[in-house]
Amino acid sequence: MTLTLPTFEASTAPLARRNPVAKLAAALLFSGPLIATLDPLTPTIALAVELAVLPLFGMRYGTLFRRAWPLVLAAGGIVITLVMFAAERTGATVATLGPFEVTTGVLVTALGMVLRVFAIALPGIIVFATTDPTDLADALVQNVRAPARFAIGALAAFRLVPLLGEEWQMLSLARRARGVDAGRNPLAKLRLFVSTAFALLVGALRRGGRLAVAMDARGFDAGTPRTYARRQTFGRADAALMIGATLVSAAALTTTVLLGLFRPIVG
């Protein structure tokens, strides 16, 4: 098992170089309201908008697809679950799979949910794919006054993540070398997994401790107010991105309501 950090693509596209906090906020402001409705139209409009603005983030459609493909698995899971367990089976029967009656009502609900998953997740995927984690931490500290201890600390910890993959492999091999394996016994497998995970945790904590001491030795814990080597600015274009995201999301919901297709998640 190898862990690699999710990479980002440096880009000078107009939306990619917006302030990272503004991008993240815009993604939340855009996705948040979509949760309110269960109909398929709202997420369809949202997806259309997301795909339309993708070039403005300097991102290729192929890249987006590669990053989003795990969602396809989630979508498959939703369809299967609904076909098996949906309580309402309204509309005409399309097919009968053993004991399960697949009706148009079930399919519309499934389609709505699958579209929602994509519509809500894609903005986040786009933002993280086009944002340098360092810039995000800088912007969190400089523009929204997040504590540096938290933002920079998380960034430093993030750097150690790829090491965990190598460490896991070494620990597993070392256990085999000690004569410890699980064979086909599921209980032994679970025990082995837990003991390996525990050793991984112990190692990670020690490394984290050493890193914290090294950071403090370079003045991280000193009370001195920090200065910033890399400036993150929050300008009008950043505010406009956030406002625009809110307006487009609201417009999608309004369209649905006016067409009488709005299906509130509550009630």
Partner 1 sequence: MGDVVLRGFGWRHAGRKAWAVRGVDLRIVHGERVLLLGPSGAGKSTLLAALAGLLPEDSGESEGTVEIDGLDPRKARERVGIVFQDPQTQLVMSRSGDDVAFGLENRGVPAGEIWPRVDEALHRVGFGYGRDRPTGALSGGEQQRLALAGTLALRPGLLLLDEPTANLDPAGAALIRAAVTRALDDDTTLIIVEHRVADALTLVDRVVVLEPGGGVRADGPPGAVFAAHGDRLADEGVWVPGHPVAPRKAVTGPGSPLVRATAVTLHDRLAPTTLAAHQSEVLAVTGPNGSGKSTLALLLGGLLKPTSGTIDAGPGGAPHRWRAAELTTRIGSVFQDPEHQFVTHRVADELALGPRRIGRPEAEVRRVVDDLLQRLRLEKLAGANPYTLSGGEARRLSVATALATAPRLLVLDEPTFGQDRRTWIELADLLAGLRDDGHGIVAVTHDDDFVAALADSVHHLERTA
Near partner 1 by CB under 8 A: residue from 17, 67, 89, 207: 207
Give one word for 222, left, alpha or beta, with left for phi > 0 and alpha for psi -120 to 50: beta
Cα dihedral 10, 16, 21, 26 sign: negative
3-state helix, strand, coil in the chain (%, to 5): 65, 5, 30
CA distance 145 to 45: 35
Does residue number 2 form part of the binding site for partner 1 (CB under 8 A)?
no
Site string for partner 1, 159-198 (x = CB under 8 A): xx-xx------xx-xxxxxxxxx-x-----------x---
CB nearer to partner 1: give 105 or 133: 133
CB nearer to partner 1: give 73 or 229: 229
Contact range with partner 1 by CB under 8 A, out of 45-53, 64-72, 223-231, 244-252: 223-231
CA distance 118 to 78: 12
Cα maximum dimension of the chain: 70
Half-sphere exposure of 32 (CA within 13 A, CB side): 11
Site string for partner 1, 37-66 (x = CB under 8 A): ------------------------------
Residue 214 CB, shortest distance to partner 1, in Å, is 4
CA distance 106 to 87: 9
Near partner 1 by CB under 8 A: residue from 72, 230, 251, 264: 230
Residue 68 CB, shortest distance to partner 1, in Å, is 24
Does residue number 225 form part of the binding site for partner 1 (CB under 8 A)?
yes
CB nearer to partner 1: give 31 or 142: 142
Q: How far is CA 258 from CA 117, 151, 153, 185, in A?
A: 23, 43, 48, 59
User: Which residues within the stretch 101-160 sit at the binding site for partner 1 (CB under 8 A)?
Assistant: 133-134, 152, 155-156, 159-160
Closest residue by Cα to residue 113 from 144, 82, 150, 88: 82
Residue 150 CB, shortest distance to partner 1, in Å, is 14
The secondary structure of 186-210 as a DSSP string is: HHHHHHHHHHHHHHHHHHHHHHHHH
Residue 85 CB, shortest distance to partner 1, in Å, is 42
Report the 10 Å Cβ neighbour count for 242.
Answer: 22
Residue 14 CB, shortest distance to partner 1, in Å, is 23
CB nearer to partner 1: give 181 or 247: 181
Q: Are 91 and 105 in contact (CB under 8 A)?
A: yes
Note the residues at the interface with partner 1 (CB under 8 A): 133-134, 152, 155-156, 159-160, 162-163, 170-171, 173-181, 183, 195, 199, 202-203, 207, 210-211, 213-220, 222, 224-231
